[in-house]
A = this chain, B = another copy of it.
Amino acid sequence: MEASTCKQDVLQKKKNAVLVDGVILNGPITDSKAGEKFVEEACKIIMEKIIQKADDVTEKVCEWRAPETLKKILDLEMRDTGESHQKLLQLCQDVIHYSVKTNHPRFFNQLYAGIDYYSLVARFITEALNPSVYTYEVSPVFLLVEEAVIKKMIEFIGWEEGDGIFNPGGSVSNMYAMNLARYKFCPEIKEKGLSGLPRLVLFTSEECHYSMKKAASFLGIGTENVYFVKTDERGKMIPEELEKQVQRARKEGSAPFLVCATAGTTVLGAFDPLDKIADICEKHDLWLHVDASWGGSALISRKHRRLLHGIQRADSVAWNPHKMLLAGIQCCALLVKDNSGLLKKCYSAKAAYLFQQDKFYDVSYDTGDKSIQCSRRPDAFKFWLMWKALGTTGLEERVNRALALARYLVEEIKKREGFQLLLEPEYANVCFWYIPPSLRKMEDGPEFWQKLRRGMREGNYNLNSTHIQWTLIA
């Protein structure tokens, strides 16, 4: 195009401009070509600096800086005018440089590690599509995918049918379950609330995840009404102690309604004896929820699923494929055995502007009213694409490998001076003490342990092999 034509074009556009409240309305608000180029250049950086380096052990896991130092390095301030693309790309590089590389083979901090290329692609797709999963008309594919994934997960739990919903975290899944159990126990609470009712009481083990207390407090039940059941030397709930606690609660005149068992505790990786716990729940008519956020993935392995023996007797299960299976944070499902619509009855608010009942398709696909959220992310999709890519066998290998690595680590610890295994692991958590040289010749006894505990920062570690966690046991 010649310059003169171009100028004419601009003048013509100005002439036709629709001006409302000082804003020119016609024409795009952003320069899409420049925007696309920016995305392309940023993707190159992401590819080179994150994805291609994911399995490079020669890279640092973290370029550590203290908060005040890092603040000075990063230009955090948001200003009146925007920055150039060049400056923004530099910022992106800095953000990557100073972030922890959770994909790194030596990232030993939390319950996950390593990169999964398929779930990553799924996440790029959903970020680009930017959907919200409440009604079929706005998220057709992602609702069908969620249905298929939930069905498959239910199959692995061993239920004949069921229901479920992906939500933002194992903690939230546990809250969902607690509220659902309460609704089943007394549906009126939804409208009337807890005021004036006897104390509702739930039971969980001493080794449970801290979200149990958070949930009890958030749901108005109160942390004191979480009765913690003693665990054995392996961190498993003792069924006889549970029985005692239920009887104690009944004697007090409170209202037991729920047992939360744990399949894969955070620190020891312990699995509660689900079958025996289910017997007690049946006897006392209590809802059985299994927090399998961490341990649920073992269900995929024919070799290790026996760890969750009895899980098919649970009323609800929390299971996070973003941990050992590497589906990317967050990917968490609450699964429910009931198939009579309990989840919907418990959670629905029947917002007429969103969930019209006279649509031209089967509105049972509008699952948004089962959720405590309104906008909701399509978290099932990344698990689905990964599953399609690897097959069940590939997922199974991931689990088997994690547990084999834990076994290997145990043998190495046993061989090495200055390390003492805390207990033989049954899952991927390996707990051990590091004995500082000054204590290695000391006799085992109260004084030894007092000194070891005092020097705990270099003492007791919980190494969660491969998908992985270093934590101090307090």
Chain B residues in 8 Å Cβ range of A328 = 127, 130
Of the 9-residue stretches A39-47, A239-247, A275-283, A333-341, which lies at the interface with chain B? A39-47
Closest to A55 in B: B32
Residues of B within 8 A of A236 (CB): none
The complex places the Cα of A385 from the Cα of B88 at a distance, in Å, of 8
Q: Verify A140–B65 contact, CB threshold 8 A.
A: yes
- Interface residues as binary, A173-217 with B (CB distance below 8 Å gives 1, 0 otherwise): 001000100100000011111111111100000000111011011
Report, as a range, how many residues of chain A touch the other chain: 35 or more
A383 to chain B, nearest CB (A): 9
- The answer for the CA separation of A102 and B137 in the assembled complex, in Å, is 12
B-contact 0/1 string along A78-92, CB 8 Å cutoff: 111111000010011
What is the CA–CA distance of A169 and B376 in the complex, to the nearest angstrom? 8
Q: Inside 8 A of A131's CB, which chain B residues have their CB?
A: 99-100, 102, 329
> With contacts A353-B266, A354-B471, A471-B353 known, is A129 near B117, CB below 8 A?
no
Within 8 A of B (CB), among A327-363: 328-330, 347, 349-354, 356, 358, 361-362
Say yes or no: B168 contacts A99, CB within 8 Å. Answer: no
Q: Which residues of chain B come closer than 8 Å to A142, judged between CB atoms?
A: 99
- Tell me the smallest distance from the CB of A266 to a CB of chain B, in Å: 6
CA distance in complex: A21, B211 (Å): 34
- Contact pick for A373, options B47, B74, B76, B168, CB 8 Å: B168
- The answer to whether A23 touches B400, judged by C-beta atoms less than 8 angstroms apart, is yes
Chain B positions within 8 Å of A223 at CB level: 190-191
Cβ of A401 and Cβ of B100 under 8 Å apart? no
For residue A400, which residue of chain B has the nearest CB?
A: B23
Q: A130-B328, A391-B80 are in contact. Are A351 and B195 (CB under 8 A)?
A: no
A384 to B74, CA, bound (A): 12
Q: Please tell me if the beta carbons of B224 and A191 are within 8 angstroms of each other in the complex.
A: yes
Asked if A144 lies at the interface with its beta carbon under 8 angstroms from chain B, I say yes
In the complex, chain A residues 304-329 whose Cβ is within 8 Å of any chain B Cβ: 322, 328-329
Interchain CB contact (< 8 A) of A365 among B39, B67, B77: B67
The complex places the Cα of A424 from the Cα of B211 at a distance, in Å, of: 47
Q: Are A404 and B23 within 8 A (Cβ)?
A: yes
Chain B residues in 8 Å Cβ range of A211: 349, 374
Taking CB as reference atom, which chain B residue is nearest A71? B144
- Inter-chain CA distance A222–B196, complex, in Å, is 12
Interface string of A53-69 (1 = CB under 8 A from B): 01100000010111100
Complex contact A407–B21 (CB within 8 A): yes
Q: Is A436 an interface residue (CB 8 A)?
A: no
For residue A10, CB closer than 8 A to chain B, the reply is: no
Q: With an 8 A cutoff between CB atoms, is A394 at the interface?
A: yes
Is the CB of A124 closer than 8 A to any CB of chain B? yes
Q: Please name the residue on chain B nearest to A211 by beta carbon.
A: B374
**Interface residue A442 (Cβ < 8 Å from any Cβ of B):** no
The docked-state distance in angstroms from the alpha carbon of A458 to that of B196 is 47
CB-based nearest B residue for A411? B20
Over the window 23-50 of chain A, the binary record of Cβ atoms lying under 8 Å from chain B Cβ atoms (1 yes, 0 no) is 1010011101001101110110011001
Cβ of A289 within 8 Å of any chain B Cβ, yes or no, is no
A47 and B52 contact, CB distance less than 8 A: no
Q: Name the residue in A66, A149, A373, A407 with the highest tally of chain B Cβ atoms < 10 Å from its Cβ.
A: A373
- Once the chains are docked, how many angstroms separate the CA of A103 from the CA of B401? 41
Complexed CA–CA distance, A98 and B390 (Å): 24
Assess the B209–A200 pair: CB atoms within 8 A. no
Task: Type the 1/0 row for A155-175, where 1 means its CB is closer than 8 Å to any CB of B.
Answer: 000000000000011111001
A196 contacts which chain B residues (CB < 8 A)? 195-196, 199
Contacts of A130 in B (CB 8 A): 102-103, 112, 115, 328-329
6 A-B residue pairs with Cβ-Cβ distance under 8 Å, sorted by A, are A78-B392, A102-B132, A175-B372, A192-B225, A195-B196, A322-B375
Q: Given contact pairs A42-B124, A67-B144, enumerate 12 new A-B contacts (beta carbons under 8 Å).
A: A42-B125, A78-B387, A81-B391, A82-B388, A99-B141, A109-B137, A127-B127, A175-B372, A182-B220, A211-B349, A353-B472, A356-B474
